[in-house]
Structure 1
């Protein structure tokens, strides 16, 4: 995946020095800080922070438990709704969700309760022996889950909790999905993603088979025949194309592939790092890529977006992180041509200036060039074609490039469900993928039990 950059130099800093650039973005609260912060919560009735939480965590309740020094109670309240609450506390965009809705977040005070950090405090400091939840009596049913990302893991855990046996099929050598391979290293540090997976599996009744990829060595028709139900938590594994000549040239690659290599690297000083880099995109992945390549030692990093700052899907908080890390951000510029040197490698990119004309983005005809040794595209993900290529999978109804599901996460094929980033509704957030998995598990369990009762 990172073969495209093999001709580039390695960082001049040591691995230890580079590792110091990827410590926690937001250091955890200590006990005193947590006590002070939890005391700021007004414990609102019908709290707006709870209403906006995609995973329906009772925010006021868990904060009250922290204030009362009932850390285990706070943790259990969180995990009951979001079994991946530890990672969500670190990566969830609280600045546009619960903390934005906090009643403390107004002009006079201007500082919401630090809900994300309090959630992390509760889960990092709980002292529950074993797993916090017990399995229900066995149903004798077995469900297949495809994909060990947040949606698949959440679905598997809830199904197991309800008394079902689950087999997860995962293409990668590790479980975790986006948490393991796609989140900036300074947001989810160390091996936290794997520890969280191990904790989740403590419920029992879940088996994970690695190296199993739908459309290659795993087929939906076989799963449909062998299991009582199938849940597809496929994510979006393929990067969109720019549609430009030279897109396959050495020096141009998908940002998610570099981020995955960075997260799995045991020696950061062995990674290829360009002196000058361009990142194309406007979402959190684009920000993550730009900031991380800067922290690895790139001398000049330019993030380019075809619209304005206000249209970026990356939150203002994320944009501020980029600016604080000396990332140059250019807006209203559309990629026009990949520039190559005599060896056929990337040497830069030509852009066309854009503008809004009657709320429609148009080119101005003016162009400019930016010199770069590498270009990272972060323009969105799509479904891998091979994933839905077998005879049964092609029957699935699609909404654009995503799988169509009903309100209970059922696809058009009986017994096959889907959730997370691969389905149409949602914001492509980790916390929402967890919620999809949880709700789908309840729908699967209910449907299976209804069949048993009808028989």
Structure 2
């Protein structure tokens, strides 16, 4: 008897009609209407020493901006927000508020239903952005020039604050569009209608910021040159490396990096032309795994499974994000670690996983395996920092746990070089944390330059 013919991978575009695609990629949280915002703002207790404010990485005065909304002044509320977080519009869309400000809201603690802080923040910032005006004025030019490498949240935040203080800023980025994670890494249903680019355009209205795209550190620009030609350098390099599965057959066709796939999806003008498998397996337990799985389902994949090596409680994705995936038809399976990708004619046909358990506090393999048929496998098991271009001077920038070591002011081991965002040892893979890094570094750069000017004048 002859061997059975290999199973053909079922990966194709146009699995769903345009109407269903539009529904699947519609705004996850449609904006509040004015009356809805007023009603929600009225629920706030305006706590003294508010726990929500303490939980916000950028220290937005949440009770104040909600009171301003309640008083019918969303523009004022937006200024309060943006004075602390210039990317407050995007953060309102993508921040895990359920584990930050809203988790400690007194309403949540007492009633299990927090004030919708994120939605109110979006209402305020969207209202201001719709006016086309920028809320801040640039200080008198200082004559100082700062280079920012990386146009992600950290770099944009640093650039805006420095420009507002009167410095001239040049931002370098390897990609064609600024925005970093906000443009290339956020699920499309969380930031609709090209919001990332609209926010960048809004930010640039401060003046004093120029972009140079298609330039990466070590490729087109060099740290030694930047240190020579500019008064300060800020590195917001992000995480360019991707962890490997460490499973046999990982190089098979149909095995993808989830981060790159999401970036491609975000830049696709016609989602109906984006191929997706009928059976998709995503490996990982963080936000990227959730975003990849939900979007694969929204493209028309019939079976989408997230496989995570630990238990549900250990997932980096919040319970809310897990619920989003489950309600969209994604299967979440736990205590499964990839062992082997089975391929037919070089293409993924299935993935074999080994069951795990926790023993004496450690993850151990049990020897029992499970096989799941798949046309595509996406790995979303974390990214790594690639120090390309930072090693050029002497021993290069000091690293800690594989990322750039910084102090509380975000100063690196190299004189005149600051860093922030995911590339630093304290990075938390959150837009709001990266924004705070950029702001803190900008204020320290300004203080350092101002002090140098005073010394020179004496």
Q: Does 1:316 align with 2:354?
A: no
Backbone CA RMSD of aligned residues: 1.5
Structure 2 equivalent of residue 23 of structure 1 = 26
Deviations 1:270-307 (A, max 9, x none): 11110101100000110010011011000111100110
* Aligned positions of 1:337-356 closer than 5 A: 337-341=340-344, 343-356=345-358
Change beyond 3 A, Cα 1:394–1:290: farther
Structure 2 equivalent of residue 58 of structure 1 = 61
Deviations 1:43-84 (A, max 9, x none): 111111011100110000000000000111101000100000
Q: Check conservation: 1:301, 1:327, Cα contact below 8 A.
A: yes
Structure 1 equivalent of residue 360 of structure 2 = 358
Change beyond 3 A, Cα 1:295–1:400: same
* Pick aligned residue for 1:144 from 136, 144, 147: 147
* Pick aligned residue for 2:329 from 326, 329, 352: 326
Q: CA deviation at 1:384?
A: 2.7
TM-score (norm 2): 0.95
Q: CA deviation at 1:169?
A: 0.1
* Aligned positions of 1:425-436 closer than 5 A: 425-436=426-437
SS at match of 1:105: helix
Aligned pair count reads: 448
Change beyond 3 A, Cα 1:112–1:138: same
Q: CA deviation at 1:128?
A: 5.1
Deviations 1:355-409 (A, max 9, x none): 0111111001111211101100000011135353x51285111112210001110
Q: Check conservation: 1:153, 1:437, Cα contact below 8 A.
A: yes
Structure 2 equivalent of residue 3 of structure 1 = none
- Stretches (4+) displaced over 4 A: none
Structure 1 equivalent of residue 381 of structure 2 = 379
Q: Does 1:452 align with 2:453?
A: yes
Q: Check conservation: 1:262, 1:268, Cα contact below 8 A.
A: yes
Deviations 1:191-232 (A, max 9, x none): 110000000000000000010111222211111111000000
Q: CA deviation at 1:96?
A: 0.5
Could you tell me how far apart the structure 1 residues matched to 2:11 and 2:380 are?
20
TM-score (norm 1): 0.96
* Aligned positions of 1:273-312 closer than 5 A: 273-312=276-315
Could you tell me how far apart the structure 1 residues matched to 2:415 and 2:126 are?
40
- Show structure 2 runs of 5+ residues with no match: 1-8
Deviations 1:256-281 (A, max 9, x none): 11111111111101111101011000
Q: CA deviation at 1:13?
A: 2.2
Q: Check conservation: 2:15, 2:299, Cα contact below 8 A.
A: no
Q: Check conservation: 2:10, 2:277, Cα contact below 8 A.
A: no
Could you tell me how far apart the structure 2 residues matched to 1:441 and 1:32 are?
38
Structure 2 equivalent of residue 263 of structure 1 = 266
Q: CA deviation at 1:245?
A: 3.0
SS at match of 1:222: helix
Q: Does 1:105 align with 2:105?
A: no
Structure 2 equivalent of residue 228 of structure 1 = 231
Deviations 1:124-174 (A, max 9, x none): 112656321111111110000000000000000000001100000011100
Could you tell me how far apart the structure 2 residues matched to 1:387 and 1:17 are?
45
SS at match of 2:317: coil
Deviations 1:233-275 (A, max 9, x none): 0111221111233222210011011111111111101111101
Could you tell me how far apart the structure 1 residues matched to 2:384 and 2:93 are?
25
Q: Check conservation: 2:41, 2:67, Cα contact below 8 A.
A: yes
Deviations 1:25-56 (A, max 9, x none): 11111111111100010111111101110011
Could you tell me how far apart the structure 1 residues matched to 2:86 and 2:199 are?
9
Q: Does 1:134 align with 2:137?
A: yes
Could you tell me how far apart the structure 1 residues matched to 2:35 and 2:104 are?
25
Q: Does 1:85 align with 2:84?
A: no
Structure 1 equivalent of residue 187 of structure 2 = 184
Deviates more, 1:222-231 or 1:242-251: 242-251
SS at match of 2:196: helix
Change beyond 3 A, Cα 1:421–1:252: same
Change beyond 3 A, Cα 1:394–1:263: farther
Could you tell me how far apart the structure 2 residues matched to 1:354 and 1:187 are?
33
